[in-house]
Amino acid sequence: MGQLSDLQDARRRLGLALDSVCHDRWVLGYLRNGSLQPIAASEISRRFMQTRPLMPLSRRALFEKRPLVLNSVFEKPDPSNGYDWELDWPAILYTPIGEMGHRPIGLLVIGCRNDHWYTEEDVAYAHTLSYSLAPLVAALRGPLSRLNESEGEVAQLLSYGLSTQEIARAIRTDDRHARTLVSSVVKRLQSVNADDLMFPIIQMKRRAFRL
């Protein structure tokens, strides 16, 4: 990877791409030992940087290699904003990430905290986006899988453009330890080709954009 700005720009592009789909939260991750290891998320929170089990519907989406939607007609009066948001929120869209015809290597989870109905157009757009994300997930899952838990959190924080001092506060450590972690992460991510983090032209709501 040429510069950390490549990782930051990849996350920014993904955020822009997802502006076309109604959501309050998204998490992109790669698959590892039957769990989802986050690569990036819509918000800075340690609970979304840690490995989490796959939900039953996400496993079905991965098996069928197509996006699946959970649209609940019953909205909970106070849905959780925490770790169990996939169980509590009324609208969740699971999109497997991978090349066409191949086994998925990652998963994109999109959700709405309040009542929403994901349409066929949303599903089709997410499906198209999944193919565009495949090179990014493929390029990052190898280097990221070799990081320990703390380094994995640092990698995600770097994608937000946080400084070493800000990272130290986020993971509750001192500046010296944070610098050591950042240095280790940067070294491991040097093998990632910046071109793999770029999004090609994709169809967005019937209009073509280059993100």
What is the per-residue pLDDT for 209?
Answer: 39
Break the chain into its structural domains and give their ranges.
4-203
Q: In DSSP terms, which residues pair with 40 in a beta bridge?
A: 28
Contact 96, 170 (CB under 8 A): no
Query: Per-residue pLDDT for the chain (211 aa), expressed as one digit of tens each?
Result: 445 677 888 888 888 889 889 999 999 999 998 899 998 888 877 777 788 899 999 999 999 999 999 887 555 555 555 557 888 889 999 999 999 889 999 999 999 988 888 999 999 999 999 999 999 999 999 888 888 888 888 988 888 888 999 999 988 899 999 999 999 998 888 888 777 787 664 544 444 434 4
What is the per-residue pLDDT for 161?
Answer: 85
Placement of tokens 């910046």 in the chain: 194
The CATH homologous superfamily for domain 4-203 is: GAF domain (3.30.450.40)
d(CA 75, CA 131): 32
What is the per-residue pLDDT for 79?
Answer: 53
Contact 79, 112 (CB under 8 A): no
Residue 7 exposed, middle or buried by CB count within 10 Å (0-12, 13-18, 19+): buried
pTM over 0.85: no
Q: In DSSP terms, which residues pair with 32 in a beta bridge?
A: 35
